[in-house]
Chains A and B, each alone.
Chain A
């Protein structure tokens, strides 16, 4: 194990961070959209969102990634592995985040929605400007948790051919015959990234405006 190998791992970890960050954000947007479908009052939209969430929470991420990676070319879509990885992770995390958000949306006090109605907000405006920000604020700790899970889960995107931290470690382990220090170093890098995310999240939580009373 040399400093040079460690540097290669560090460089690859940037890809891990990039893929995870984009996927978390895209997943969040999709999760809010799924929540809107579930609260639309339309049976088909509700059912569709429910099926999506059940599927992506019920199937191992590895299988989802293999499915997307192999299915897209069949229906005539060829994407670079980076895009495939982001799509796969985003769809998966969207399902989990929608489930987290459900609690948040249910926890928005009814009075805050009534006051929005009385202020003349339409249903869509109430959803965008009142319900969603409050639900997001209430479920912020769950979002941080999910971000850490996705950082770790991003180790699977090597199966769609993307070279991130784990894939780089695999490659280096195979070529140097030093799997022990190399995988240990990779693990250490994941650990440090996660600790930084957790620390930053705690600081952010303190800085965010307050939760609704009760």
Chain B
């Protein structure tokens, strides 16, 4: 049994294309997840008990079930209710909604961390609710929500690998396909593992730098 990574690396352009799809879906998916998560958390905070309860259900369902089952349901089950998506769209939608459930919990904890007195003080000086959120609540919770947010982003990066199972042409699918064609499957998986490992370590490092920068800005 020979071990020849070169036959995999020879397909550099294809690998890079797969990497590109992975990063694109990851960045876009995380972006939408953060926005949607923030909207859900804000709606749960200000929307009254009924909205809070109604939104709690999807959040708990998404957090309590495997991502794989969610994307299978969306991709294979969707067409039966008229939701016919191509793999990339399904993957992006799935990742965004799944991530949003976790981000909404992160922001919920963030809202809870701000002392009510600060909000009351903002209302007293005539801030609107939106102004209070933008200028008081968000900056105050930033330091608290940043580490779990970074963490979640890295989890989402690793979870993009599952999209290969609904034929999204991201890195795992691309590289393992190269491995099968070249009769070098083990080599292809080793390359995959190393690339992901490198990506995650870089993301970790960026996260640490950002945290340090933000920590310097904060007064407390």
CA–CA, A179 and B193, complex, Å = 31
Which of B36-44, B74-82, B207-215 makes up part of the contact surface? B74-82
Which residues of chain B from 53 to 87 have a CB within 8 Å of any chain A CB? 60-61, 64-70, 72-73, 76-77, 80-81
CA–CA, A153 and B66, complex, Å = 7
Partner of A191, one of B65, B73, B81, B190: B65
Please state if B193 and A190 are interface contacts (CB–CB under 8 Å): no
Partner of B193, one of A59, A74, A187: A59
Please state if A59 and B64 are interface contacts (CB–CB under 8 Å): no
Determine which residue in B61, B67, B77, B176 has the highest number of CB atoms from chain A within 10 A of its CB, and name it. Answer: B77
Partner of B67, one of A54, A66, A152, A194: A152
B21 at the interface (CB under 8 A from A): no
Indicate whether A67 sits within 8 Å of B64 (C-beta atoms), given known contacts A62-B161, A180-B73, A187-B70: no
B1 at the interface (CB under 8 A from A): yes
Chain A's closest residue to B81 (CB) is: A180
Which of B110-118, B137-145, B195-203 makes up part of the contact surface? B195-203
Indicate whether A66 sits within 8 Å of B189 (C-beta atoms), given known contacts A54-B201, A60-B159, A74-B1: yes
Residues of chain B contacted by A180 (CB below 8 angstroms): 73, 77, 80-81
B32 at the interface (CB under 8 A from A): no
| Range, interface on chain A | 35 or more
- Write the nearest CB–CB distance from A45 to chain B, whole angstroms: 21
B185 at the interface (CB under 8 A from A): yes
Please state if A62 and B162 are interface contacts (CB–CB under 8 Å): yes
What is the 8 Å Cβ interface bit string for chain A, positions 174-190, against chain B (1 contact, 0 not)?
00000110011011001
Chain B's closest residue to A155 (CB) is: B66
| Range, interface on chain B | 35 or more
Indicate whether A183 sits within 8 Å of B76 (C-beta atoms), given known contacts A54-B201, A59-B197: yes
A142 at the interface (CB under 8 A from B): no
**Can you list 30 A-B contacts (CB < 8 A)?**
A55-B193, A59-B158, A60-B172, A60-B196, A63-B161, A63-B172, A64-B193, A66-B192, A67-B193, A70-B186, A70-B189, A71-B186, A152-B64, A152-B65, A152-B67, A154-B66, A155-B66, A155-B68, A155-B69, A166-B68, A173-B72, A179-B72, A180-B73, A180-B80, A183-B69, A183-B76, A186-B69, A187-B70, A190-B66, A194-B64
Q: Which 4 A-B pairs have the closest CB atoms?
A: A180-B77, A60-B161, A155-B66, A179-B76
Interface residues of A (CB under 8 A from B): 54-55, 57-64, 66-67, 70-71, 74, 148, 152-156, 159, 166, 169-170, 173, 179-180, 183-184, 186-187, 190-191, 194-195
Interface residues of B (CB under 8 A from A): 1, 60-61, 64-70, 72-73, 76-77, 80-81, 158-162, 164-165, 172, 176, 185-186, 189-190, 192-193, 196-197, 200-201
